[in-house]
Chain A
Amino acid sequence: DSGVTQTPKHLITATGQRVTLRCSPRSGDLSVYWYQQSLDQGLQFLIQYYNGEERAKGNILERFSAQQFPDLHSELNLSSLELGDSALYFCASSSRTGTIYFGEGSWLTVV
């Protein structure tokens, strides 16, 4: 158990819909990262937050957004979903030492 909690574990939704994925980082970790893993794209970095502020942006689509709340949990919002958004979405957190721990992921299937 990495200490990073993600919900839901599995989600099936229709095209055009919007979903929210939730992440609770390890206790004390201020940084939260979101990654997307798909068969054809591999592991793609989406976005990073540090103590509530956006720190880095990767290959995140404009239809996607994220935020980190004062209690340090984070949410990834995916809207106007397309079939190609079907993927495994990982949240990770890191402490000041920089070691990054991943959650189990949220499987999103868009039908």
Chain B
Amino acid sequence: GEDVEQSLFLSVREGDSSVINCTYTDSSSTYLYWYKQEPGAGLQLLTYIFSNMDMKQDQRLTVLLNKKDKHLSLRIADTQTGDSAIYFCAESMKTSYDKVIFGPGTSLSVIP
């Protein structure tokens, strides 16, 4: 079946690194995404990775993809209070349309 799982909560201290994990079940995924949702706001696309990549780095963000284990992670270096938000992992599959499955979201709390 199609399912994306994430732990629901993560708490880190300001300045530390945060690692948000995600597992997915469909090996036919083409793209894997990380979205950020701040309180009262929409989903902001943070970064994405093609399924044929292992890693992608973008400033403070590092995405690691382990296709064998169907595991995706988002590392945020030097976490700031402004990083407090809900982070959604999502996978998309090319069928006859672009089908996107979202995880439940991980609520990241950054402690000053």
Closest residue of chain B to A94 (Cβ to Cβ) is B98
Cα distance, A103 to B66, chains bound together (Å): 30
The minimal Cβ–Cβ distance linking B30 to chain A, given in whole angstroms, is 6
Q: Which one of B35, B44, B92, B101 lies within 8 Å of A98 (CB-CB)?
A: B92
A45 at the interface (CB under 8 A from B): yes
Interface size class of A (residues with CB under 8 A): 20 to 34
Cα distance, A37 to B102, chains bound together (Å): 11
Q: Which one of A56, A92, A99 lies within 8 Å of B97 (CB-CB)?
A: A56
Chain B positions near chain A (C-beta within 8 angstroms): 30-31, 33, 35, 41-45, 48, 88, 90, 92, 94, 96-102, 104-105
Please give, as numbers and ranges, the residues of chain A lying within 8 Å of B30 by CB-CB distance. Answer: 98
Cα distance, A111 to B70, chains bound together (Å): 43
Q: A43-B43, A103-B42 are in contact. List 12 more A-B contacts (CB 8 A).
A: A33-B100, A42-B104, A43-B104, A43-B105, A48-B97, A55-B97, A98-B94, A99-B33, A99-B48, A100-B45, A102-B42, A102-B43
Q: Which one of A90, A98, A103 lies within 8 Å of B98 (CB-CB)?
A: A98
Cα distance, A2 to B41, chains bound together (Å): 12
